[in-house]
């Protein structure tokens, strides 16, 4: 990823409040605000322009992260139409400072953003289809640069909608960073992430919780049941199988799901040479 110098401006001095973000030598600009400051956001002159926007929050029925990705020639008027959507609590808008984004450009950006969000899978989308737009080759390359800057700014603005759960690494780093957790025939593979620990798709976990788990760790039973309900864990050949890469808050949280009971992730996750995670940490 290209290095970047990011300029953040906090009109109220509050990082949770309305803020703008720019990158040196980039013609784009981002404006983000919580829903509680929608009126102030709508008064911004940037919203007179064409651009793309992301509304994010939590699905009130499932409790899962949910987002709406859209485009408009006049962002202000389109955002007004989304007041009826209950789920969203944050809006992030991207426009061009030189006003060079046409309708075709923003449609292309919308289509690419929706496709990428579906592929990453962190959020469910309200709108899963976008017509996109065919652009000349030179314009397409310009929009890909614009997209790369959007990806850089979103985590800074508090959104990980395009951050892959399992970080992309070279083959050598992937091999050295991958860990395995085994118990009673179940075998799971994973690695640490900036936000915790990820278990990779295809890993297995024991089917039954330990007898004392319900009494001592009811939250773990609830977590496993949630993973089953949402389809992340499916029963197969006497084990649970992970249907997708799944992130947990810590190595121990991940190992406990595999074990069906409390587990110390620092000792249960090991390399192919049987070095535990705590041994690897001690080398640093």
What digits encode the pLDDT tens for the residues 245-257? 999 999 999 999 9
Higher pLDDT, 13 or 175: 13
Higher pLDDT, 176 or 41: 41
CA distance 176 to 191: 10
In degrees, rounded to 5, the angle at the alpha carbon of residue 164 between the alpha carbons of residues 234 and 228 is: 15
Question: Does position 132 have pLDDT exceeding 80, yes or no?
Answer: no
What digits encode the pLDDT tens for the residues 10-61? 999 999 999 999 999 999 999 999 999 999 999 999 999 999 999 999 988 7
What digits encode the pLDDT tens for the residues 82-101? 999 999 999 999 999 988 89
pLDDT tier at 67, thresholds 50, 70, 90:
very high
Q: Can you give the pLDDT at residue 167?
A: 63
What number is the average pLDDT over the span 262-282?
A: 91
Q: Give Dmax (Cα) for the chain.
A: 64
Question: Does position 176 have pLDDT exceeding 60, yes or no?
Answer: no
* pLDDT, the chain, mean: 91
CA distance 192 to 91: 30
pTM for the predicted model, two decimal places: 0.78
Report the percent of the chain where pLDDT is more than 70: 95
pLDDT tier at 70, thresholds 50, 70, 90:
very high
What digits encode the pLDDT tens for the residues 184-217? 999 999 999 888 999 999 999 999 999 887 788 8
CA distance 255 to 182: 9
CA distance 208 to 88: 37
Please say whether the beta carbons of 248 and 254 come within 8 A: yes
Strands 233-236 and 239-242: antiparallel
What number is the average pLDDT over the span 152-170?
A: 82
Report CA-CA distances (Å) from 216 to 153, 198, 209, 213, 219.
Answer: 42, 24, 11, 5, 9
Question: Does position 175 have pLDDT exceeding 60, yes or no?
Answer: no
CA distance 28 to 76: 17
């Amino acid at each position: 990823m290209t290095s970047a110098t990011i300029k953040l401006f906090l009109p109220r001095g509050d990082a949770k409040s309305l803020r703008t973000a720019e990158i040196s030598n980039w013609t784009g600009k981002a404006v983000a605000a919580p829903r509680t400051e929608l009126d102030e956001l709508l008064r911004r002159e940037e919203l007179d322009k064409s651009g793309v926007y992301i509304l994010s929050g939590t699905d009130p029925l499932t409790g899962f992260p949910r987002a709406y990705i859209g485009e408009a020639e006049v962002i202000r008027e389109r955002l007004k139409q989304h007041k009826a959507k209950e789920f969203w609590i944050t809006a992030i808008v991207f426009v061009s400072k030189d006003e060079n984004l046409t309708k075709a450009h923003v449609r292309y950006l919308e289509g690419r953003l929706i496709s990428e969000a579906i592929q990453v899978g962190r959020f469910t989308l309200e709108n899963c289809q976008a017509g996109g737009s065919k652009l000349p080759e030179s314009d397409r390359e310009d929009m890909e640069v614009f997209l790369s800057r959007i990806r850089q700014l979103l985590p800074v603005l508090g959104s990980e909608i395009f951050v892959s759960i399992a970080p992309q690494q070279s083959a050598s780093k992937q091999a050295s960073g991958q860990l395995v957790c085994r118990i009673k025939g179940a075998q799971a593979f994973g690695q640490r992430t900036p936000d915790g620990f990820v278990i990779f798709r295809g890993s297995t976990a024991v089917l039954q919780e330990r007898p004392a788990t319900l009494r001592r760790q009811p939250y773990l039973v609830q977590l496993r049941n949630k993973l089953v309900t949402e389809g992340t864990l499916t029963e197969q050949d006497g084990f649970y199988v992970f249907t997708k890469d799944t992130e947990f808050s810590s190595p121990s949280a991940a190992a406990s799901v595999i074990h069906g009971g409390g587990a110390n992730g620092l000792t249960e996750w090991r390399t192919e040479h049987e070095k535990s995670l705590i041994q690897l940490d001690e080398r640093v």
